[in-house]
């Protein structure tokens, strides 16, 4: 049961405002929900984790390519602007997590927060659900991993550092586009790439192992900046990185095509679309388990080689990370997995 909030909280009027950039122009509608469960168990070979936790549904970052757009339709919302402006808040997420930890038979295992939408989107400044879940992971000595674009994660550097020194914690900051103009067109509600890289450095300096996600890889948009992004990430202290090919399943595809058609000239749109087809066997998406995150063909193999070669040169994803915290997320291949 969704409860609409008549006067949504304003995250730009909190003590956390220094971690937020300016408010986006879109009108925001907030719905509070008392969820029945909070942990999702994944059995897909496309992702490298078992348990995920998502305190929010929908995302104000408004990334054109977000695969989570489709899930917003389960609540009779649209995959387009509804996904960006109608946010569902699972207000009882911490209580449900503590129930899971206290359940007989629970064994500490990495929980990925933000397996679907960003757990540090602006409303987190008010609701603090992610922060409370992290505190529970610390209390119950349970490892955690996070992927985010948000600067608000800086607020929780202290608790993440304590987790990293104990049960284990790892963060990936998503920086698919190093060009700020391209980033703004594709991720209009997210912070600039420069400030995200500053977050990578801040977290690593605080003792939180923090890498970068170059996902999704979109040919014609960010394949030419892979090496530059990895170099900038390494300067910020990143020792882990991954990338995946863009997923355009179902209603995500028309949203993506509409956005790139609005933001780029026709010749570049054709370059992007043809590049995706080249890596998807002539299609724009492949929903086959095990192949959703990776491409095929010589161009994809070249990108894989470029990515992995640059990582080796920079000392990223190496096997000599003796300083990793105990029970940290396991090492997995660079492509096709998060942790």
Can you tell me the distance from the alpha carbon of 109 to that of 104, in angstroms, rounded to the nearest whole number? Answer: 14
What residues contact residue 16 under an 8 Å CB cut-off, 6+ apart? Answer: 125, 152, 155
CA atoms within 13 A on the CB side of 135: 10
Q: Which candidate, 141, 150, 163, 140, places its Cα nearest to that of 209? A: 163
Predicted TM-score (pTM) of the model is 0.86
142-199 pLDDT per residue, tens? 999 999 999 999 999 999 999 999 999 999 999 999 999 999 999 999 999 999 999 9
Domain ranges of the chain: 2-314
* pLDDT at site 159: 98
19-54 pLDDT per residue, tens? 666 665 557 899 999 999 999 887 665 566 789 999
Which of the following CATH numbers is that of domain 2-314: 3.30.450.20, 1.20.210.10, 3.20.20.70, 3.40.630.10? 3.20.20.70
Looking at every residue in the chain, the average pLDDT score rounds to 88
User: Sorting pLDDT into bands at 50, 70 and 90, what band is 333?
Assistant: very low
CA distance from start to end of the chain? 33
* Integer CA distances (angstroms), 186 to 216, 221, 249, in order: 11, 10, 17
Q: Which candidate, 217, 200, 175, places its Cα nearest to that of 65? A: 217
pLDDT at 114 over 50: yes
* Integer CA distances (angstroms), 115 to 40, 259, 279, in order: 9, 24, 25
pLDDT at 66 over 50: yes
* pLDDT at site 337: 42
């Amino acid at each position: 049961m969704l409860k609409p909030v008549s006067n949504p909280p304003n995250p730009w009027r909190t003590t956390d405002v220094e971690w937020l950039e300016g408010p986006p122009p879109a009108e925001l509608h907030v719905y509070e929900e008392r969820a029945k469960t909070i942990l999702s168990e994944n059995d897909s070979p496309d992702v490298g984790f078992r348990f995920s936790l998502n305190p929010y549904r929908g995302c104000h970052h408004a990334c054109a390519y977000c695969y989570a757009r489709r899930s917003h339709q389960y609540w009779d919302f649209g995959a387009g602007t509804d996904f960006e402006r109608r946010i569902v808040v699972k207000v009882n997420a911490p209580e449900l997590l503590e129930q899971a930890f206290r359940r007989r038979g629970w064994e500490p295992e990495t929980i990925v927060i933000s397996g679907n939408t960003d757990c540090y989107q602006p409303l987190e400044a008010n609701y603090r659900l992610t922060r409370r879940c992290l505190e529970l992971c610390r209390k119950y000595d349970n490892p955690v991993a996070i992927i985010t674009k948000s600067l608000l994660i800086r607020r929780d550097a202290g608790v993440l550092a304590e987790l990293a020194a104990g049960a284990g914690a790892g963060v990936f900051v998503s920086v698919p586009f190093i060009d700020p103009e391209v980033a703004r067109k594709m991720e209009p509600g997210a912070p600039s790439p420069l400030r995200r890289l500053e977050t990578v450095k801040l977290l690593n300096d605080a003792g939180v192992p923090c890498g970068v996600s170059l996902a999704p890889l979109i040919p014609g948009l960010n394949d030419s900046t892979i090496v530059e992004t990895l170099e900038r990430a390494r300067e910020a202290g990143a020792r882990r990185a991954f990338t995946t090919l863009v997923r355009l399943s179902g209603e995500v595809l028309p949203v993506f095509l509409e956005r790139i058609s609005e933001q780029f000239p026709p010749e570049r749109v054709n370059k992007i679309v043809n590049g995706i087809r080249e890596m998807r066997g002539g299609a724009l998406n492949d929903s086959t388990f095990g192949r959703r995150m990776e491409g095929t063909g010589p161009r994809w193999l070249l990108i894989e080689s470029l990515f992995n070669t640059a990582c080796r040169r920079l000392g990223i994803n190496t096997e000599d990370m003796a300083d990793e915290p105990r029970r940290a997320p396991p090492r997995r291949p660079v492509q096709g997995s998060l942790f």
